[in-house]
């Protein structure tokens, strides 16, 4: 369900005495007018000027233990069932009820509900955000700021939060969460990719559109926005990457190590004509665009013991002296197939190996599937290139192209040949 804040505000206002409505309306218009004057000389400023459809993002999953504490910059309302509670400044404590539902504590009052709870800033809060503090046992609670609305439910005994936020406002945080550079053309390319991904992959999860992790796109809320990420989103508003008139399937990663690869080699499945291996080199010669990166070349070791438990845990092959061997490489040089010889034979992909090592030993060890491997001494020695899966846009290469004066359109067409940047006409 995609509700608009304006509609909710109308419902909310109906429930309040006329004097209060008048006062809130007056404050609202004063702030709006002031804001409008404020942006005439500065077209970059406010995130709330964006006008776009909402997306539903599940936030903080796996990080909430006992419950959450919600406050806001300015007054807010807590809506559930037939109740609509106006909260001036108190905190709203929310925990999951035993056997379902939610328990709310607001300024000494306690409520129980089996319905979803919606938390909405009232208009007078202007540019404010809703603040969620994790109610974990901690001297210093960790807080996160969100624009838009929060929908809170009890999901199998755990407090679940969905942030309902206009797409363009969501992107201001995603762009900054995924990338940090002074190079504005690279930032704009990132904004296009983030928007293209969001438009194409909406509804990626069953009950909501996106998670806030890298599975979808990293989204840290309003606290991570920067003036550069807001500018990048604003100056590309509504634009996506298109191929043959359809929204393209896009991927991006940190450092390709010299050449990008096709998604079919990494995850299997479809091939796309605009997602072929691209040499990350300045056309007409010159060094690698991402060559200055500390991830461009790397070395790592994995001891025999580490490898043995890794192979057993991740791939179910348990034998002393199990051997690992590179069998096939893809056209970019990445390891495509590896063979594990133990009590049984197992063939895995290089990407599966990278992910397994990342989960077991940390993501800084085997940074990509573009590596050489030697067995000797106390285990396995690796020499590799790049960071990430290597499909689509290389972030460090894009930053270098921006530095060389390329536009965001040229940067995108370099990594996604045959695509164009255009307005997305349909509904997201």
Give the nearer residue to Zn ion in terms of CB position, either 239 or 295.
295
Task: Considering only CA atoms, give the Rg of the chain.
Answer: 25
In whole angstroms, give the CA distance from residue 342 to residue 322. 4
CB 397, min distance to Zn ion, A: 4
CB 426, min distance to Zn ion, A: 22
Give the nearer residue to Zn ion in terms of CB position, either 76 or 197.
197
CB 53, min distance to Zn ion, A: 19
Residue with tokens 């989960």: 359
CB 276, min distance to Zn ion, A: 15
CB 203, min distance to Zn ion, A: 11
In whole angstroms, give the CA distance from residue 173 to residue 176. 5
Give the nearer residue to Zn ion in terms of CB position, either 61 or 90.
61
CB 280, min distance to Zn ion, A: 3
CB 289, min distance to Zn ion, A: 5
Instruction: Report which of 163, 155, 156 is spatially closest to residue 119, judged by C-alpha positions.
Output: 163
Give the nearer residue to Zn ion in terms of CB position, either 137 or 156.
156
Give the nearer residue to Zn ion in terms of CB position, either 89 or 214.
214
3-class SS of residue 363: coil
Give the nearer residue to Zn ion in terms of CB position, either 193 or 394.
394
Give the nearer residue to Zn ion in terms of CB position, either 231 or 385.
385
Instruction: Report which of 198, 224, 199, 223 is spatially closest to residue 211, judged by C-alpha positions.
Output: 198
CB 36, min distance to Zn ion, A: 37
Beta bridge partners of 174: none
HEC sequence for 242-305: EECCEECCCCEECECCCECECHHHHHCCCCCCCCCCCECECCCCCCECCCCCCCCCEEEEEEHH
CA atoms within 13 A on the CB side of 275: 24
Give the nearer residue to Zn ion in terms of CB position, either 194 or 211.
211
CB 356, min distance to Zn ion, A: 20
Instruction: Report which of 178, 175, 171, 187 is spatially closest to residue 399, judged by C-alpha positions.
Output: 187
CB 156, min distance to Zn ion, A: 18
Instruction: Report which of 208, 31, 210, 241 is spatially closest to residue 126, judged by C-alpha positions.
Output: 31
Phi/psi for 78 (5° steps) reads -115, 120
Burial class (CB in 10 A: 0-12, 13-18, 19+), 293: buried
Give the nearer residue to Zn ion in terms of CB position, either 352 or 400.
400
In DSSP notation, 139-171 reads SS--EEEESSEEEEEEETTEEEEEEEEEHHHHH
Give the nearer residue to Zn ion in terms of CB position, either 96 or 280.
280
Alpha-helix residue ranges (DSSP H) falling in 287-394: 304-315, 350-361
For residue 300, what are the CA distances in angstroms to 93, 221, 339?
46, 34, 20
- Interacting residue ranges for Zn ion, rule: CB under 5 A: 211, 215-216, 256, 280, 290, 394, 397
């Amino acid at each position: 369900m995609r509700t608009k804040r304006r509609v909710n505000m109308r419902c909310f206002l109906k429930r309040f005495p006329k004097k209060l409505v008048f006062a809130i309306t007056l404050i609202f218009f004063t702030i709006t007018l002031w804001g409008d004057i404020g942006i005439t000389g500065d077209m970059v400023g406010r995130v709330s000027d964006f006008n776009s459809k909402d997306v539903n993002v599940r936030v903080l999953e796996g990080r909430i233990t006992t419950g959450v504490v919600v406050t806001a910059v300015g007054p807010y309302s807590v809506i559930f069932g037939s109740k609509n509670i106006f909260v001036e400044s108190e905190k709203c404590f929310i925990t999951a009820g035993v056997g379902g539902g939610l328990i709310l504590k607001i300024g000494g009052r306690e409520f129980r509900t089996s319905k979803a709870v919606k938390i909405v800033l009232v208009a007078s809060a202007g540019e404010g955000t809703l603040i969620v503090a994790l109610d974990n046992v901690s001297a210093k609670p960790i807080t996160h700021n969100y624009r838009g609305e929060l929908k809170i439910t009890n999901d199998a005994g755990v407090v679940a939060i969905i942030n309902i936020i206009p797409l363009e406002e969501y992107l201001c945080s995603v762009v900054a969460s995924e990338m940090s550079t002074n190079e504005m053309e690279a930032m704009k390319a990132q904004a296009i990719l983030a928007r293209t991904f969001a438009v194409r992959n909406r509804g990626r999860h069953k009950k909501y559109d996106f998670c806030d992790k890298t599975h979808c796109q990293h989204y840290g809320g309003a606290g991570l926005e920067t003036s550069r990420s807001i500018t990048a989103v604003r100056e590309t508003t509504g634009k996506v990457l298109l191929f043959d008139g359809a929204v393209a399937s896009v991927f991006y990663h940190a450092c390709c190590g010299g050449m990008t690869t096709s998604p079919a080699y990494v995850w299997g499945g479809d091939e796309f004509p605009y997602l072929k291996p691209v040499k990350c080199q300045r056309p007409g010669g010159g060094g690698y665009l991402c060559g200055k990166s500390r991830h461009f070349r790397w070395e790592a070791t994995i001891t025999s013991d580490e490898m043995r438990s890794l192979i057993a845990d991740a791939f179910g092959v348990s034998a002393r002296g199990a051997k690992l061997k590179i069998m096939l490489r893809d056209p970019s040089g990445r390891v495509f197939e590896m063979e594990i010889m133990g009590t049984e034979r197992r063939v895995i992909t290089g990407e599966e190996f990278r992910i397994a090592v990342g989960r077991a030993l940390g993501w800084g060890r085997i940074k990509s599937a573009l590596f050489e491997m030697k067995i000797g001494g106390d285990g396995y020695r690796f020499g590799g290139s790049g960071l990430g899966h290597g499909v689509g846009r290389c972030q460090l290469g894009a930053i270098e192209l921006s530095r060389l004066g390329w536009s965001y359109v040229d940067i995108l067409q370099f990594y996604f040949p045959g695509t164009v940047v255009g307005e997305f006409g349909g509904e997201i």
